[in-house]
């Protein structure tokens, strides 16, 4: 990844964190902060994270291409975050926070679609691996034991059993 893109991502992250901090501090000093500023800062935070850590949107396989499904999920979650932060920033209680219930279904559909895609990709890669023949490990060479040789390793030498002593051979 180019350092300039990473630097831009870090700059965007720092700016968005500064805007969120100011939006959180300014109401204590008596200034009213509209919800648009922190909402845009949250979306910028998501963009900055994507620029700093591009593996968030890259596919898991070896191609390292940008995943369209991950971008779609990021956009849907970003829009949901934008709307939620914008409408809920000036609310003092949860009763005041009113969101259209259809947005929850949109987020569930996006995340459920991503989960289904991830499951199908892992299942297809599992099937590929299962169809390939499994290489057998090489067995270590077995040493042959010649029972006709005795401790002196000469043919015809007497071989003793455990607990018995070998008698010297008359032929040796």
Q: What is the dihedral of CA 4, 10, 16, 20, to 10 degrees?
A: -170
Residue 32 belongs to domain spanning: 3-90+98-127
Is residue 128 exposed (0-12), middle (13-18) or buried (19+ Cβ within 10 Å)?
exposed
pLDDT at 78: 85
* pLDDT band for position 30 (cuts 50, 70, 90): confident
* pLDDT band for position 13 (cuts 50, 70, 90): very high
The alpha carbon of residue 155 and the mean position of all alpha carbons in its chain are separated, in whole angstroms, by 64
Domain count, the chain: 1
The alpha carbon of residue 70 and the mean position of all alpha carbons in its chain are separated, in whole angstroms, by 13
User: 149 lies in a domain?
Assistant: no
User: 21 lies in a domain?
Assistant: yes
pLDDT at 146: 60
User: 84 lies in a domain?
Assistant: yes
Residue pair 110/77 in contact (Cβ under 8 Å)? The answer is: yes
User: 82 lies in a domain?
Assistant: yes
User: 145 lies in a domain?
Assistant: no
* pLDDT band for position 18 (cuts 50, 70, 90): very high
Tallying the residues shown for the chain, one arrives at 172
CA–CA distance from 20 to each of 44, 62, 69, 153 (Å)?
Answer: 11, 37, 28, 85
User: 115 lies in a domain?
Assistant: yes
Coil vs helix vs strand at 155: strand
Alpha-carbon span 25 to 38, nearest angstrom: 12
User: 146 lies in a domain?
Assistant: no
User: 22 lies in a domain?
Assistant: yes
Q: What is the pTM of this model?
A: 0.58
Least confident of 58-62, 83-87, 97-101, 154-158: 154-158
Coil vs helix vs strand at 149: strand
Residue with tokens 């990473």: 6
């Amino acid at each position: 990844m180019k350092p300039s893109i990473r630097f831009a991502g870090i700059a965007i992250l720092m700016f968005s964190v500064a805007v969120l901090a100011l939006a959180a501090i300014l109401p204590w000093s008596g200034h009213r902060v509209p919800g648009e500023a922190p909402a845009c800062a949250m979306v910028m935070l998501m963009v900055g994270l994507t620029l700093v850590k591009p593996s968030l949107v890259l596919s898991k396989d070896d191609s390292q291409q940008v995943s369209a499904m991950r971008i779609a999920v990021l956009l849907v979650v970003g829009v949901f975050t934008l709307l939620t932060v914008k409408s809920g920033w000036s609310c003092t209680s949860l009763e005041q926070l009113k969101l259209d219930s259809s947005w929850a279904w949109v987020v569930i559909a996006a995340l459920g679609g991503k989960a289904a895609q991830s499951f199908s990709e892992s299942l297809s890669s599992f099937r590929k691996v299962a169809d390939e023949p499994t290489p057998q490990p090489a067995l270590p060479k077995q040493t042959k034991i010649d029972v006709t040789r005795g401790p002196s390793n000469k043919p015809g030498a007497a071989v003793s059993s455990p607990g018995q002593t070998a008698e010297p051979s008359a032929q040796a």
